[in-house]
Chain A
């Protein structure tokens, strides 16, 4: 990745401010949703919001798009392993 390309994808001040505002809004939304009676959907909804928040942190604060290709592969493998763990756990619970 050239320096010019790198400069294009590191977060700007506006991106950082937008990200923190969005994260605060999603935190408040998560708090609000927790007080609704969603039944069995409450946990998936809360975790869905958490995934969106983690993605915002990864993209805006950790600048994952500016990381080198090997670093992005490491991040992708980590996410894949977590997905495997989640799938195994959920399957185990559903098939009991």
Chain B
């Protein structure tokens, strides 16, 4: 087989294979977070008072604002695909830019929340020194909080990198109405980041 010879008989077969690969990747990502949710549930059953106090101490307003921010950003990513399929390149670019700005807003609010926690001595693991939230198990709650939200934030940064790359590709007409599988796959990734946060929000900010 020469280098020029296509692996797939038709471009559609390649797109189907890429989509399947992405779904398998998303499945593995989901199970990674599912393991952490399992750990959270087990420790919550063990330390119900500490987890209730931890949730009450978290900034529900910031968590809720971030939920709305990610939901709307997810909508803009879906809208960018919808627009490009109809060859509306400018709308697609505007929607992707809006999604990136919202993603940055999410990270900004998260940084604000982390800095406030750290100023109160609420740090992960052995560095925990809070005198406000002291129930046995509080350290475990906030360690899980940092691990889960930190891992999620890494995913947000990865998603934002993909969205910026797509803005560049759409602007240079490398991703087009005819060929835009990379936009669809990156969109799936961004939506998964949204779905994970949809479950993190009630567990870390609402349910006491």
Are the chains A and B members of one assembly? Answer: yes
Counted as pairs of residues, one from A and one from B, with CB atoms less than 8 Å apart, the total is 121
Q: CB distance A11 to B82 under 8 Å?
A: yes
How many B residues touch A, CB cutoff 8 Å?
43
Inter-chain contacts of B72 with A (CB < 8 A):
20, 24
Interface of B is mostly: helix
CB contacts under 8 Å to B, within A53-82, are 53-54, 57-58, 60-62, 67-68, 70-71, 74-75, 77-78, 81-82
Output the nearest chain A residue to B190 by Cβ-Cβ distance. Answer: A61
Write the nearest CB–CB distance from A17 to chain B, whole angstroms. 8
How many chain A residues sit at the interface, stated as a range, is 35 or more
Report if A27-B64 is in contact (Cβ < 8 Å); known contacts: A47-B202, A96-B45: yes
Interface of A is mostly: helix
Binding site for A on B (CB under 8 A): 16, 19-20, 23-24, 26-27, 30-31, 34-35, 37-38, 41-42, 45, 60, 64, 67-68, 71-72, 74-75, 77-79, 82, 85, 187-188, 191-192, 194-195, 198-199, 201-203, 206-208
Q: CB distance A20 to B71 under 8 Å?
A: yes
Q: How far is the CA of A54 from the CA of B196 in the complex (A)?
A: 9
